[in-house]
Every structure is written in C-alpha cells, then in structure tokens.
Amino acid sequence: MIDQFINFVIRPPRAEYNPDLYLWEKDFTLAGRKYKREDLELRNERGHTLRCSHYVPSQFPDDTPLPCVVYCHGNSGCRADANEAAVVLLPSNITVFTLDFSGSGLSDGDYVSLGWHEKNDLKVVVSYLRSNEKISRVGLWGRSMGAVTSLLYGAEDPSIAGMVLDSAFSNLFDLMMELADVYKIRLPKFTVKVAVQYMRRAIRKKAKFDINRLDCMQVAPKTFIPALFGHAKDDKFIQLRHSEAIFKSYAGDKNIIKFDGDHNSSRPQFYYDSVSIFFYNVLHPPRPPSAYPTKGEKYYDLGDLKVSAGRNENLLYEIIAGLQNVSTDAASSSSVPPSIATMKSVGELLSDIAPVATDSLVTEDDTHTGNSRSLVQDKLSTQNEECCSYTSSNRESWGRCSSLGSDDEPSMDFTRATDYDQTTIKVLATPLRNTQQSTLSSPKDEKKKKKKASTDTKKSKREKFEKLEALSQRLRLCILKRVNHRRHCSS
C-alpha cells in the first residue's frame, strides 16, 4: 500500500498522446490571424530531452519582439494542456511556450518531483527564450504542480514579468497528510506520520528530492513578481486553504480569484478573461496588426477551411442554396444537392454566391398579422443569440484548431399554422442587425421610396457590409459545429 502511495506522488499516470492529434496544428488560424506551432527539443541539466512547442504568429514583426508565456502543466499533464492558454493569449499578441516536464508526457525521465526538478526544466526554457531576439518579456502560467514550479523558479529569477498560479499547494508534507484523510486511510495520525517518513526516504532514493524541502511558504515571502492566484472552492485534492496561505505570505503585487469547481474541473470564462487582462498589463504586448488588409476581405475571409470528406458538404450547400433561393424567390423541388468541388475553399464559395444576396432574407405569407411577425422575430432573435454564443470556457474543449465545435446544430426552420393553411418560414440563420421584410407596396409608396433612395444610398451600403460580415461569421460557425472533436483529458 505504501508503495502505491509513493507511485501516486512520483509516478502518477503518464500522458501518452500524438502531438499531431492533441496539439494545435502546425499552421492554424485564430481570430482571423495565422499562427504556427514550432516543435523543438531542449536538454536539461540531468541530460533528459524535453519535448517543447512554441505557438507564434506565422510572421513575426520585423522591428518589435513579442512577449511569451510559458505554460507549466500538472503532475499527470502534458503540453496539450496549453491549448487553452494559446486561445486566451495569442489574440493579444502574446506567444505561448509549452513543454513536457521530465518524467511527463513524451519527455525523458522516469519520475516527477512535483516542482523540485521541474523548476530546473523551466530554467532551461527561460534561458532559451532569453536567447531569442524575437522574445521580449516572459511570464509563467502554472496549474497544480506547474504552479508550484513557477513559484519556486520565480523566487530565483525576479526578471519574470508576471505569474498565474492555479491550485498551488503550500507544503508537500502537509499535502500528503491531508491526502491520507481524503482517501480515508484508517490509521492513527502517529502511524501515518511514520509511514510518510518512510515514504520520504524512499522518494529521496528514487526521485532524488526531499519532500520536506518542497515548501512554497518558504519562498513566497521572498518573491516580488506580480502574481494572480486562482483556486476552485470545492477542490478536495489541493484544498483552497493552500492558495490562501501562499497568497497571505506572498510579498509581491497579488490578487486571488476563487471560483466554483474542483481540482480538475473546467475554469470559468471570467477567470480566463482575468488571466488575459493580467498578462496584457504585465507583458505590454504590441498591438496586433489588422487581420484583414482591406475592408472587403474582412467580409469574405473564412480562414483556411476547406470542404472535404471530414466535413458535411450538405450543410454548406444548404446555406448557399438558401441565399440563392431567397434572391430568386424560387424553391428547388430536388432534395439532392449539386456537387461541390472538394478542395475549393469556403472563402471562394462565399465570394461566388455573395453577389446574389439581397436585403430580403426572410419570406413569409402576406396574410400574416403584425403580432405574428413580432412573435417570429423574437424567436429568431433568441435562436441567433444561442447560435452565436460559441465561446467555450471548458478546459477540456480546447483541442486542435479544427476541433472547436460540437455535434449540435441549430434548427433553421420555423413552422406556424394558421386557421386555413400552414406556412413554413425558411430563414438563413444569420444574425443581422437590421432585417427588412418583403411586403407589397402601393404605387404612391414606390414613388416615395424612389425619392428617398438617393438619400439612403450610404446607409444601404453600410447595412450591406454589416450583413456580409454577419454571414461570414455565421457560415464559419455552422461549419465548425459539424466537426467532431477529440480532446485529451489529463487528471
């Protein structure tokens, strides 16, 4: 039993993964900008090879270096855990570096040390970044064991710009005593202390570190780096009091965020927002350039999405056919979609059909009353708001670049029955700020509209641009929602 507990500390389940499946792709697009993943290997002072990845813009600015945040994973984690950090920080022009610590993931080594040897691995990474002329300031973001690693290293390197410490433990010996109660080891405390002392000698022999010296309370009063602490209120593995104790004794500028959940639960969106703001303030990244050189490209660019066997071709056709049907006011009797070139980009398809889009995207029977129209519009507004809320705060949902979606797709049809007939309202589910209804007009009204047309030219052009922008965003969302994603879950 004691041997099992020793392995629980220094040899937890090891993450085995394929970098091409669980990391961001070699080249990907995020928030309209292009990025790339650079894989590299570093060697620590013990001779272990560390597998690392660096997420950077596809083209670095020529005259301005960019800051970098090093993400440090937990005891059973790996560099795939940094996918969430990339989503949070890359849009702010902050690069993200991540690694498998020795004894974790695909790196060399047989044991983890919960921060003792990992701080030396982190030192190798920071030294590498310091030698890179394209990197300016360096920040640290650690979770669980990674948070302890960041704090231990930060006490030795005051040049670190800022740290985010998520679920750090204050003292390893105290944590092991607590875990004996959590796992209901029914032994007297004196016996447990004797067992822990035996474990101490065994761990020192196998993993080459002393659990009694792994104490964050000794370094917190000596560390002055700005820090943001985070901890889940219902964490049973590392209790909230650990972060509170470190926070109380920490000497530098500090703040703490407490949120619902446990040790391995997903972090809420407001926590990620706070992390983004914190790093933006301490790293001072340059303002990112516009993702679109011209205004027109903004409405047509859908990134690098392709229609291929991995995506549903019918969904894309339904959206394009919906636009064509609305413009021509004619419905096709055939349910078989025409073929679409399998390697034609979505941006090109949108450019082909965009000119046929008209201001009238909603068709309905002339016998509908005003109250019925208002009711349908309210339903459409609610549905569109739900469709557009696709930003996820789930830690386990940040997967590959092509995996930011779910299997659910919103319904596009709304049906309403009247006393005499039943009318189906087909709506292209695109969130538009102003949607005009097509109605019959009298000759006098038509003359008034012609006179007013000359004064409303600028306004109509602006509305057209807004609709094209919304269409581009909605089309991207619909396609992403058809992709099945896989995510590695680390404890």
Q: DSSP readout, 97-149?
A: EEEPPTTSTTSS-S---TTTTHHHHHHHHHHHHHT-TTEEEEEEEEETHHHHH
The pLDDT value given to residue 314: 54
The pLDDT value given to residue 193: 82
Q: What is the dihedral of CA 225, 228, 233, 236, to 10 degrees?
A: -50
What is the distance of C-alpha 249 from the center of its chain? 32
Compute the distance between CA of residue 56 and CA of residue 54 in angstroms, rounded to an integer: 6
- CB distance 67 to 327 below 8 Å: no
Compute the distance between CA of residue 200 and CA of residue 211 in angstroms, rounded to an integer: 6
State the amino acid at position 412 in one-letter form. M
The pLDDT value given to residue 379: 42
The pLDDT value given to residue 399: 35
pLDDT beneath 50: ranges in the chain: 296, 298-300, 303-311, 326-343, 346, 353-441, 482-491
The pLDDT value given to residue 204: 94
Question: Is 0.75 surpassed by the pTM of this model?
Answer: no
The pLDDT value given to residue 187: 66
Q: Which residue stretches of 266-331 are H helix?
A: 269-283, 295-300, 313-328
The pLDDT value given to residue 402: 32
Compute the distance between CA of residue 144 and CA of residue 167 in angstroms, rounded to an integer: 5
Tokens describing residue 207: 């993993």
The pLDDT value given to residue 82: 97
Q: Report the interhelical angle of 346-353 vs 457-480 (nearest 10°).
A: 140
Q: Bridge-partner residues for 162, per DSSP? A: 139
Q: Which residue stretches of 155-226 are H helix?
A: 172-182, 189-206, 216-219
Tokens describing residue 385: 């708001």
The pLDDT value given to residue 183: 64
- CB distance 150 to 173 below 8 Å: no
β 162-166/254-259 pair status: unpaired
The pLDDT value given to residue 177: 85
DSSP of 39-60:
EEEEE-TTS-EEEEEEEEESS-
Backbone angles phi, psi at 353, to 5 degrees: -100, -10
Residue owning tokens 């109605």: 439
Measured at the CA of 16, the angle between CA 10 and CA 20, to 5 degrees, comes to 145
3-state secondary structure of 263: coil
The pLDDT value given to residue 287: 86
